[in-house]
Amino acid sequence: MRLTLAKIVLPQVIQSMTSTTPPQMTHCCQSMQYFADYHCPDHANPFDCPDQLIVYHAPTRSYGLIVHDGGSSTIEIRFCPWCGTHLTGSTAV
């Protein structure tokens, strides 16, 4: 019995990789957008993931820089490390 492989149709990812601003930009820049929304497929807990730099707390619109010391420490950041935008932090609550 032979399996017939269907022709693989690639999704049009190339179009979405162009450098236009994404329609639903919730952060100050694309770098922050990437890291704040980053979800690692391998680590359910962001503190376990070496690729996860930023945690974003939506209710207070605050950003924390993950301290990878084996625990779950964060440093609240007031300015974007990439573009320098002043971030509205938890003090506004």
Which residues are at the interface with Zn ion (CB under 5 A)? 28-29, 32, 40, 42-43, 49, 51, 80, 82-83, 85
Strand 62-67 vs strand 54-57: parallel, antiparallel, or unpaired? antiparallel
- Which tokens in the block code for residue 61? 């619109």
Shortest Cβ 83–Zn ion spacing (Å): 3
Shortest Cβ 4–Zn ion spacing (Å): 36
- Which tokens in the block code for residue 1? 């019995």
Residue labelled with tokens 């994404």: 22
For Zn ion, give the closer residue by CB, 52 or 60.
52
Shortest Cβ 3–Zn ion spacing (Å): 34
- Which tokens in the block code for residue 52? 């996860």
